[in-house]
Amino acid sequence: MARSTFKVLFYLKRHAEQNGKAPIMGRITINGTNSQFSCKMSIPPKHGDTEANKAAGKSVVAQHINEKMENVKINIGKQYQRICDRYRIEYRDRRFLSESELRAVTNVYVPNYKTAIVKNIFVFCCFTGLSYVDVKKLSQTIFTRTNGAICGSSTIDKRQ
């Protein structure tokens, strides 16, 4: 199972500076995907420590801002952990259907026409070894009828 990466950091949005203060922004990164948000706080840019992701100095204001940012970071971490615990997925090494499972899929009745088409395409992919993308490229023009059997008359270029 692939390991998940999770990180929360804070930075100043210096180009949005107003009245000598820059807004503090947060960024959550999960598996390389970023999401940014406003912390609804601002400080003078000279008091921002970009290396440490916090307000620089030991003033009461800096300590108050750092405490708020730490609380935001802790709450985001708790929510992320809660989501991970709730939606933990068990991965299996098996990457194929057994014969009985494939037979069950083939024999299942699907009342919805579109769902039946999807089921039939899936079964076709299982028997031919083609991926969905390859099946999507198929058209009636590449099939011919020979001695009552339908035969494919084209090859699929996997390099595209």
Amino acid at 154: S
pLDDT at 156 > cutoff 90: no
Q: Which DSSP state fits 99?
A: H
* Cα–Cα distance, 93 to 87 (Å, whole number): 19
pLDDT at 93: 63
**Residue predicted with more confidence, 76 or 127:** 76
| Nearest Cα residue to 21 out of 74, 53, 73, 61 | 61
pLDDT band with cut points at 50, 70 and 90 for residue 71? very high
Q: What is the pTM of this model?
A: 0.51
Q: For residue 132, give Cα distances in angstroms to 112, 113, 119.
A: 20, 18, 12
Q: Are 38 and 57 in contact (CB under 8 A)?
A: no
Give residue 39's Cα distance to chain centre.
24
Residue 65: burial class (beta carbons within 10 Å; 0-12, 13-18, 19+): buried
φ and ψ of 148, to 5 deg: 80, -5
* Cα–Cα distance, 10 to 41 (Å, whole number): 11
pLDDT at 158: 54
pLDDT band with cut points at 50, 70 and 90 for residue 27? very high
- The fraction of the chain above a pLDDT of 70, given in percent, is 84
Q: Which DSSP state fits 147?
A: T
pLDDT at 82: 85
φ and ψ of 144, to 5 deg: -130, 155
Mean pLDDT of all residues belonging to the chain: 81
pLDDT tens sequence across 2-23: 567 889 999 888 788 788 888 9
| Nearest Cα residue to 73 out of 11, 8, 25 | 8
Q: For residue 18, give Cα distances in angstroms to 14, 43, 104.
A: 9, 10, 65
Q: Are 24 and 8 in contact (CB under 8 A)?
A: no
pLDDT band with cut points at 50, 70 and 90 for residue 159? low
